[in-house]
Structure 1
């Protein structure tokens, strides 16, 4: 793959600034020491190391960064942030990249993770907590595998480890306010 670095830096400048504004981080603070990657518990499964994703952003390679599975595998455990000698909150950057990928329709590499994220958040939005059975069923239906792990679900139901009906928390208004505020933050308000 050939990359015109001058053009890439120019084209990626707006995206880089937007990620910096949304995350509150300065990408040029990262000097590629690799401590984030060395401590990352999911780096073994990533297609690009965490510090490489930052480097892609520094070089203006927006599409390449958004196409990585890495941004979807990030567990937001903040080990990278804790280890960074420059104080770069890489977990926050990864979160901003996931939001950008969703907005731009670039979720190919992390489609299953994005799907789980959406189904999980919808459950929390409705009930104030995750309803495990509904979460599994909703995920399986959206994946087109409605009976996947049904035998496990039946066993858990028999042992009363799953509830058929979801339970709601009392303060659903507070949950709605949290989701509203998160939406405003994503929109940059």
Structure 2
């Protein structure tokens, strides 16, 4: 079987990463805090890219579940930047209008961007309330939310970034 390397080259170029540096030690997957929810682990996604499995990768849940926490980058002995790779994959999936593998992801992204546009940062309580209303999963994570609130991990009142005019210029530049 001959492998089509065009997908590998496209993802490498868009992510700015030399994905051939990965020797599949699985450190990225071992350190990933959301790996349990993924259909394919980060190292498996990378291997699938190397094998030209474009459809399977772009339709996977994993590319949408990556939270960009950089745990994988700190664990990787070759410093392959998985979050950059996942961003590139999401961009390709959106451009090619691929069927998204993660239910409700559009509602999440819409609410996230609304929050950033409104305040320059996320106000978690409003963000999660709007997301829950949009998806109809009102009480799915209520216990975890209450625990986070008790531990002081959720702010009661929203805050805003300084220099909103700079944030506006950044958004406008991204829209061009």
Q: TM-score, normalised by structure 1?
A: 0.72
Q: What number of residue pairs does the alignment pair up?
A: 164
Distance 1:174 1:91, change over 3 A: same
Which residue in the other structure is 1:28 paired with? Answer: 20
Counterpart pick for 1:91 among 64, 83, 87: 83
Instruction: Give the Cα–Cα distance (whole angstroms) in 1 for the partners of residues 87 and 124 of structure 2.
Output: 24
Instruction: Give the Cα–Cα distance (whole angstroms) in 1 for the partners of residues 78 and 161 of structure 2.
Output: 41
Which residue in the other structure is 2:117 paired with? Answer: 125
Aligned-residue Cα RMSD (Å) equals: 2.8
Which residue in the other structure is 2:152 paired with? Answer: none
The reply to whether residue 43 of structure 1 matches residue 38 of structure 2 is no
Instruction: Give the Cα–Cα distance (whole angstroms) in 2 for the partners of residues 86 and 170 of structure 1.
Output: 36
Counterpart pick for 1:66 among 39, 43, 58: 58
The reply to whether residue 82 of structure 1 matches residue 41 of structure 2 is no
Which residue in the other structure is 1:53 paired with? Answer: 45
CA radius of gyration, larger in: 1
- What SS does the aligned partner of 2:116 have? helix
Which residue in the other structure is 1:148 paired with? Answer: 138
Which residue in the other structure is 1:108 paired with? Answer: 100
Structure 1 unaligned regions, length at least 5 = 185-189
Distance 1:168 1:35, change over 3 A: closer
Which residue in the other structure is 1:187 paired with? Answer: none
CA displacement at 1:127 relative to structure 2? 2.6
Distance 1:167 1:28, change over 3 A: closer
CA displacement at 1:65 relative to structure 2? 0.7
Distance 1:16 1:170, change over 3 A: same
CA contact (8 A) 1:37 1:43 kept: yes
Which residue in the other structure is 1:175 paired with? Answer: 167
Instruction: Give the Cα–Cα distance (whole angstroms) in 1 for the partners of residues 110 and 66 of structure 2.
Output: 16
Instruction: Give the Cα–Cα distance (whole angstroms) in 2 for the partners of residues 132 and 38 of structure 1.
Output: 28
CA displacement at 1:129 relative to structure 2? 2.8
Q: TM-score, normalised by structure 2?
A: 0.76
